[in-house]
Chains A and B, each alone.
Chain A
Amino acid sequence: MGAVQLSHEVIDTQLVDRHQEKIGRIDELLIELEDGKPPRVATIVIGGAARARRVGRWMLACHRAVHALFGQREEHASHVPFGAVRCIADTIEIDVDGDTLDSMHLEHWLATRVICPIPGASGERK
C-alpha cells in the first residue's frame, strides 16, 4: 500500500469487513490536525448524516426530518479508526466485524424483524 489519493481513491469507496461482507461506503474521512505534524487520516465515518452533509445543509435537514419521521432521535453512524484499514484496492477492507457496527443497524433490524420471518429468507445462497 503506497500513496493514496483521499478524494479519488478513498472516500466513497466500498468497504468490506473482515468477513468480506459489504458494510457500506466511506461516507466521510476525519483528518486530525496537529501543529508541526503532517495531517493524519484519523477516522472513517459510515453513516447517512455525514453523507447528507456533503450534499448541502438542506440535504442534512431532509435527512434529519426523515429520521424524526421514523421516530429516531439519533442516527446510527459508525466511526472506525483509519488504522483498522487492512487493504486499499477496488474495495477497502477494514479489520472489523460488520455485525458490531452501528451503521449496520438498519440491515440487522430489517433482517431479523422483517425479512427472516418470511419463509425462504434464511440461508446463504439461493
Chain B
Amino acid sequence: MSGRTVALSDLLGRPVRDADGRKIGRIEELHAEIALEREGNDYVVTRFSVGHFKSFDVIASGNFVQQLVRRIARATGYRRYEIPWDLMDLSDPAHPRALRREDELPRTR
C-alpha cells in the first residue's frame, strides 16, 4: 500500500535501463487511459514510450516533420519502445527499469 507521488516532469527524460541493466533510452511519453473498472474519471498510465530523444514531443506530430524525423531516426539507429505499465519498474522513480531485456520489449515501427 505504499503510495508514492512523482511529478510527471521528473519522469520525462529519465534514462531507462532494461532487465540486463543496459540503457535503452529515455522516457519520452506516458500514455494514459480511463480505467474502466473504477468509477469516475480515473486516468491510469497504460504504457511508456522510451526512446533516445529527451522529449520526442518537441518535434510535433505533423506528417512531413514526422516522416523526415523517422527517416533520419532510422538512418541513425534510433529505436522507440512502447513499454506497458506492468513491465516498468518504478520502485525507484529516479531510475526506471524495464522488466524485460531490450530485445524482448515491444517497439514502435
Contacts and interface: CB of A to CB of B under 8 A. Distances in A.
Interface string A23-44: 0000011111111011111110
Interface string A1-14: 11111111011000
Interface stretch (B14-22, B31-39, B67-75, B99-107): B31-39
Interface residues of A, number: 33
Nearest to B13: A7
Contacts of A29: 7-8
A50 B10 CA distance: 11
A37 B38 CA distance: 12
Given A8-B29, A39-B45, A41-B45, A33 B5 contact: yes
Contact of B5 (A2, A30, A82): A30
> Nearest 3 pairs between A and B by C-beta?
A38-B44, A29-B8, A41-B43
